[in-house]
Chain A
Amino acid sequence: MDYSFLAIQALNGLSSASSLFIAACGLTLVFGVTRIVNFAHGSLYMIGAYIAATLVPRLLELQFGPVTFWAGILASALIVGIIGILIEVLLLRRIYGAPELFQLLATFGIVLVVQDLTILIFGPEDILGPRAPGLRAPVEILGRRFPSYELVLIAAGPVVLGLIWLLLRKTRFGVLVRAATQDREMIAALGVNQAMLFTGTLFLGAFLAGLGGALQIPRVSAHAGMDLSIIAEAFVVTVVGGMGSVPGAFLAALIIGQLQAFGILIFPKSTLVVVFLLMAVVLAIRPYGFFGRPEVIGGSHAIGITSSKRSPYAGLLALAIIGAFASLPLFEDAYMLKVATEILIFALFAFSLQLLIGVSGVVSFGHAAFFGLGAYGAALSLKWFSMPMEAALPAGLLLAAIGALIVGAFVVRLSGIYLAMMTLAAAQIIYAVAFQWVDVTGGDNGIVGVWPSAWASGQVSYYLLTLALVVTAVLLLMRIINAPFGYALRAARDSEARAEAIGLPIRLHRWLAFTLSGAAAGLAGGLYAFSRGSVDPTLLGIPTSVDALTMLLIGGIQTVTGPLVGAGVLQVLRDQIMPLTSLWRLLLGLSIIAIVLIFPRGLVGSVRAWMEERA
């Protein structure tokens, strides 16, 4: 490997670091001031790319030249900044005080809405922007050609860093932003106009996201998957650098850029893993990143199930529901059974998450990891060890439990938003492994031919098997929730200090809960794999985690049965609405936002509140 190649590779790394920093620093600024982890930041980045890729060519037709090009880029970023203001005024302003789970979900709702709107407005095809005038020809560096536009990108990162530094140090707005990052309550008490400050910050953050996206158009085409791929990397940058710290983000972006550029040479097939592994390692050693500070306790409050007297009819009702489900095969409708099978599977998946969020107060944003591990565990043991379904399902459960045991060991040391980010990182690592370890997992192809054993392969028998397993698992989990162990978890959720003071080993309890929850999700995943006949990496993706959270949210986080109802409602809606419209994500996103804003108790929670009021 010669010297000039290494130099070019380092330059490649610098240019991606620069791009990454510009995209991510807005996220960290917004978090610093508003304490909201803005999932929609990636969507703003994507909008920036789409606007620039559409706008700049039009401008260049009017007058061709570098000035037009750069003016077009800035104009696109400004438009995105204005969209950021809209988002702040319409949505974020209403949820600053909400629990962080709701904040994350609401901003993810924006992601879903923007995905469909983007396709609606800009069309489904990818748009490759024009090349920058004057920067079309490559430059020769050490005898190799290097695109001159990349050199401009390399310079852009430090320039943006410098400008932000000036803004933060030399202007009143900057002083206020820094003050708010340190102590939000204090500057509110000092009479600073918080609304203006927050709106301004959102404008700045969105502007930077849009700029990041717009700068990419000469090298990548604007496409519909940009949002999630950049947001995952931007999260890594902000978390590694320390949330709220702009220089930290710069340092993290530099490291990640070089890691990617040289990682390709050392581990050519595991580039995705390397990035998230870095995040996990940093969080394990420095739980608050390079320059982050511990979160002020009290800034967020846990929500979860409350203790309530059990209705005397609860047992009867449960029996009636199980009976109704068990008699479904009498209808002899194969498709209805398919839907019911999936409802049951997702009910178990969502219910396992309830043990973490509702009971333990551990807001996991990567629960898909264990669902996917269960599915992959089952599929892999079928494929590689020719195990029958009867052995493959427990194998999947075991793999998920082991995965949860390992991830849990790191997760329980953290809290709040860092915890959510750690679970997300864990899920992304497992996703990356499934995606890139092609020889074992089949990579993007996944594994096909995962069908149940002969006795269970009929629609009816597989449905009954699923029903039996799901009911058993759910009843077991309910028992756990109402056992002293469950009460100990709730105590730790509501007051960590007091729970610790009476001698509860909080971390151990949470670790156990995490493992149990992972195992239950793994069972759901295994059942899912055999129901679909195949597994693929999307099972481990962010949207799968969000699905589980949405079910929780629809049903109601404060109730035990909420997730079960939520799973049923979401699956039935998806099944009925999805074939009718191509705007399913838009509808789902809007519903998530609506629930967070006006209906935060969910279906079961609202019904219960209404009944209690009447009584």
Chain B
Amino acid sequence: MTKASMTRWLALGLALAFSSTAAQTQQAPIKLGELNSYARQAAFTVPYRSGWQMALDEINAKGGVLGRKLEIVSRDDGGTTSDATRVADELVTREGAVLLFGSFLSNVGVAMADYANQKKIVYIAAEPLTDAITMAQGNRYTFRIRPNNSMQVGMLMKQAKASGVKRWAIVAPNYEFGQSAAGAFKRLLKEQIPDAEIVAEQYPALGKIEAGATVSAIEQAKPDGIFNVLFGPDLTQFVREGNTRGLFEKKTVLSLLTGEPEWLLPLKDEVPEGWTVTGYPWDEITDPKHKAFIDAYRAKFNDTPRLGSLLGYMVVYMIRDTIERAGSADTDAMIKALEDAKFDTVIGPVTMRGIDNQATMGAWIGKLTLKGAHGGMTDWTYQDGTSFMPTEAEVKAVRKD
């Protein structure tokens, strides 16, 4: 009997808690469910949490949305697919979240998209970058803010063409994100530089790279260019080992995400100068609106912003706009308000394209350089995502809805 009665008491207590709060305030807050890998991917997700916290505080200080406050119930998604859906279930059925947002790893993002479709609840994938979330596994309930792998790789391709390199090696973490990015690179390389070839591919398991063996295997193939998708601890070890063994000398290196401060800071002074990367050169941003965000963030948290900070901040404001325009927190109304909607964000206008639920947010492309004790970006430009998005025909060919 212990089990049954215990659950019952808990349920009773929970019910009481709910009813009493509802009685106290006329307008209960709108609850948003947030889940992310705060323990396993802290480098990105902790600044991201600061970002959404800051937006939440600002919004509620101005009276919230539709006359109600916003509340974010945040959980750790454990970094695995089955834990994430379990947490999502808790957020929806116990906490009463009206929509879900977050997750970091692409495989978790795919599982969340699948969950959103199964349970018919809006899910905004803030960070997961695999194409699948808005393409093959896309559905009407799942939306993404950041430019996906194909878009970011597309932005790097210009550099690949300019370098004239024909022999390429790929190194990517062996899970959804890395596989998708490597796939996009191979596809775009074939389209844009037909006579180029891939001479080596290395797919170490995420977080378990054997840097020495990986570097010597790439070296062995004698490529002229390297396309890197590694991030986090894998990247740090790969760069150190590659620097020691001279892997990057006289080679063109294109690298996804490496210019983001979350991955650049741990490299300290071993930054591989000259890599062409996507990233976030926050220290050189001059646009007044964006600069104001950066200054406010630094003042509030006494820390420099990461890309995650910006993303967390943007996502919550976009959710506020969505609910405001929808006029309620009803799922169908929110979907209607999201599709083809224009948002005015700190980095400028962003549109949520209706056919694949992919936002037009762009990325910063530049070269890595050492600035004092840490790395940073130089020669960078901001590339809007619009012109790099998959065409309507491409979307229609793979999406099932």
- A interface residues (Cβ-Cβ under 8 A, vs B): 5, 8-9, 12, 15-16, 119, 123-126, 128, 131, 136, 138, 144-147, 150, 219-221, 223-225, 229, 260-261, 264, 269, 271, 320-321, 324-325, 328, 331, 333-336, 338-340, 342-343, 435-436, 438, 443-446, 448-449, 451, 459, 528, 532-536, 538-539, 565, 568-569, 572, 575-576, 579, 582
Q: Which residue of A lies closest to B114 (CB)?
A: A448
* A to B CB contacts below 8 Å, 8 in the list: A138-B245, A219-B240, A223-B207, A335-B94, A448-B111, A459-B93, A533-B82, A582-B76
A223 to chain B, nearest CB (A): 5
Inter-chain CA distance A119–B5, complex, in Å, is: 36
A-side contacts of B246, CB under 8 Å: 138, 145
In the complex, chain B residues whose CB is within 8 Å of the CB of A539: 82
List 11 additional contacts besides A128-B268, A224-B39; criterion CB under 8 Å.
Answer: A138-B246, A219-B241, A324-B4, A328-B4, A435-B205, A438-B174, A438-B179, A444-B107, A445-B107, A445-B179, A565-B2
Cβ–Cβ < 8 Å partners of A335 in chain B: 89-90, 93-94
Docked Cα-Cα span, A261 to B236, in Å, equals 21
Cβ of B75 and Cβ of A324 under 8 Å apart? no
Residue among A144, A444, A535, A568 with most chain B CB within 10 A: A444
Q: Determine chain B's interface SS by DSSP, over half rule.
A: helix
Interface residues of B in 1-24 (CB under 8 A from A): 1-8, 10-11, 15
From B265, which residue of chain A is reached at the shortest CB distance?
A125
CB distance from B382 to the nearest CB of A (A): 28
Total B residues in contact with A, Cβ cutoff 8 Å:
65
Are the C-beta atoms of B207 and A336 separated by less than 8 Å? no
9 A-B pairs with the lowest CB-CB distances in the bound complex, closest first: A124-B42, A568-B3, A444-B175, A445-B107, A335-B93, A324-B4, A335-B94, A532-B82, A534-B81
Which B residue sits closest to A115, measured CB to CB? B39
A225 to chain B: which residues have CB within 8 Å? 207
User: Which of A220, A264, A331, A334 touches B217 (beta carbons < 8 Å)?
Assistant: A264
- How far apart sit A70 and B241, CA to CA, in the bound complex (Å)? 21
Taken together as a complex, chains A and B put the C-alpha atoms of A136 and B236 apart, in Å, by 16
Per the bound structure, the CA–CA distance linking A343 and B76 in Å amounts to 21
B216 within 8 A of partner (CB): yes
Q: Is B355 an interface residue (CB 8 A)?
A: no
Closest Cβ neighbor of B81 among chain A residues: A534
Residue B212, interface by CB 8 Å: yes
Q: Are A533 and B244 in contact (CB under 8 A)?
A: no
CB neighbours of B220 from chain A (8 A): 5
In the complex, A337→B295 CA distance in Å? 47
B213 within 8 A of A: yes
The reply to whether the CB of B274 lies closer than 8 angstroms to some CB of chain A is no
Tell me how far the C-beta of A18 lies from the nearest C-beta in chain B, rounded to whole angstroms: 13
Which of the residues A8, A444, A528, A569 comes within 8 Å of B216, measured between beta carbons? A8
- Residue in A150, A340, A451, A528 whose CB lies within 8 Å of B7: A340
- In chain B, what residue has the closest Cβ to A573? B6
Given contacts A264-B217, A444-B205, A582-B76, contact A125 B174 (CB under 8 A): no
Q: Are B2 and A150 in contact (CB under 8 A)?
A: no
Measured in the bound complex, the distance between the Cα atoms of B246 and A128 in whole Å is 20
Tell whether, in the assembled complex, residue A126 and residue B93 are in contact, meaning their CB atoms are under 8 Å apart.
Answer: no
B241 touches A147 (CB 8 A): yes
Residues of B within 8 A of A320 (CB): 1
Given known A-B contacts A147-B212, A532-B86, A448 and B81 have beta carbons under 8 A apart: yes
Q: In whole angstroms, how far apart are the Cα atoms of A124 and B47 in the complex?
A: 12
Is B158 positioned at the interface, with any CB of A under 8 Å from its CB? no
Q: Which residue of B lies closest to A340 (CB)?
A: B7
* B89 nearest in chain A by CB position: A338
B233 within 8 Å of A (CB atoms)? yes
In-complex Cβ contact of A533 among B3, B94, B115, B174 (8 A): B115
Distance from B334 Cβ to chain A, minimum over Cβ atoms (Å): 21
B125-139, CB under 8 A of A: which get 1 and which 0?
000000000000100
Cβ–Cβ contact B4 & A321, under 8 A: yes
- The answer to whether B233 and A124 have CB atoms under 8 Å apart is no
Distance of A324 Cα from B1 Cα, bound (Å): 8
Q: Knowing A8-B216, A333-B11, A572-B10 are in contact, say whether A145-B244 is a contact too (CB < 8 A).
A: yes
**Is B318 an interface residue when CB atoms closer than 8 A count as contact?**
no
Question: Is B57 located at the chain interface by the 8 A CB criterion?
Answer: no
Closest B residue to A568 by CB, please name it: B3
Residues of B within 8 A of A128 (CB): 233, 236-237, 240, 266, 268
In the bound complex, CA of A325 to CA of B5 (Å):
10
Check B1–A536 contact: CB distance below 8 A: no
What chain A residues lie within 8 Å of B76 (beta carbons)?
582
A533 near B114 with CB under 8 A, answer yes
CA distance A145 to B249 in the complex (A): 13
Q: Which residues of the partner chain A approach B237 to less than 8 Å between Cβ atoms?
A: 128, 219-221
B152 close to A (CB within 8 Å):
no
> 8 Å CB contacts to A: which residues of B56-95?
75-76, 80-83, 85-86, 89-90, 93-94
Q: Of B38, B43, B244, B266, which one neighbours A147 at CB under 8 angstroms?
A: B244
* Cα separation A12 to B89 with both chains bound (whole Å): 46
B211 within 8 A of A: yes
Q: Is B206 an interface residue (CB 8 A)?
A: yes
B210 to chain A, nearest CB (A): 7
Q: Does B118 contact A (CB under 8 A)?
A: yes
Task: Say whether A534 contacts B111, CB under 8 Å.
Answer: yes
Q: Using an 8 Å CB-CB cutoff, how does the interface string of B298-323 with A read, 1 for contact, 0 for none?
A: 00000000000000000000000000
CA distance A261 to B266 in the complex (A): 28
Q: How far is the CB of B359 from chain A (nearest CB, A)?
A: 23
Per the bound structure, the CA–CA distance linking A324 and B107 in Å amounts to 38
B46 on the A face (CB < 8 A): yes
A138's partner among B179, B244, B268 (CB-CB below 8 A) is B244
Alpha-carbon distance A459/B39, docked complex (angstroms): 30
- Of B81, B82, B212, which one neighbours A150 at CB under 8 angstroms? B212
A331 engages B11 (CB within 8 Å): yes
Q: Which of A123, A339, A539, A565 has the most CB of B within 10 A?
A: A339
| Inter-chain contacts of B110 with A (CB < 8 A) | 445, 448
Q: Is the CB of A538 within 8 A of B80?
A: yes
Complex interface: chain B residues within 8 A of A223 (CB): 207, 233
B250 at the interface (CB under 8 A from A): no
Q: Report A255 CB to chain B, min CB distance, Å.
A: 17
Contacts of B217 in A (CB 8 A): 264
Which residues does chain B contribute within 8 Å of A5, judged by CB atoms? 216, 220
Chain B residue numbers with a CB within 8 Å of A572 are 3, 6-7, 10
In Å, the complex CA distance between A354 and B257 comes to 48
Provide the residues of chain A in CB contact with B75, threshold 8 Å: 579
Residues A126 and B118 in contact in the complex (CB < 8 Å), given A223-B207, A446-B82: no
Contacts A335-B94, A533-B118 given; does A126 touch B236 at CB 8 Å? yes
Q: How long is the Cα–Cα vector from A333 to B266 in the complex, in angstroms?
A: 46
- Knowing A124-B42, A125-B266, A444-B174, say if A534 contacts B210 (CB, 8 Å): no
By a CB distance below 8 angstroms, the chain B residues around A579 are: 75, 90
Residues of A within 8 A of B43 (CB): 124-126
Chain A: CB-nearest residue to B178: A444
Tell me whether A336 and B114 are in contact (CB under 8 A). Answer: no
Q: When each residue 223-263 of chain B gets 1 if its CB lies under 8 Å from chain A and 0 otherwise, what string results?
A: 00000000011001100110011100000000000000000
Residues of B within 8 Å of A260, CB to CB, are: 210
CB-CB under 8 A from A435, the residues of chain B are: 205
* A443 and B175 form a contact (CB under 8 A): yes
Residue of B4, B213, B219 touching A264 (CB-CB under 8 A): B213
- Residue of B46, B107, B179 with most partner-chain A CB within 10 A: B107
Which of chain A's residues has its CB closest to B207's CB?
A225
Contact pattern, B 94-108, Cβ under 8 Å of A = 1, otherwise 0: 100000000000110
Most interface-central of A8, A16, A435, A533 (chain B CB within 10 A): A533
Is A12 a contact of B174 with CB atoms below 8 Å? Answer: no
In the assembled complex, B34 has its CB within 8 A of some CB on chain A: no
A269 to B204, CA, bound (A): 9
The answer to whether B11 and A336 have CB atoms under 8 Å apart is: yes
Which A residues are CB-close (under 8 A) to B245? 138, 144-147
Contacts of B1 in A (CB 8 A): 320-321, 324
Q: How far is the CB of B395 from chain A (nearest CB, A)?
A: 20
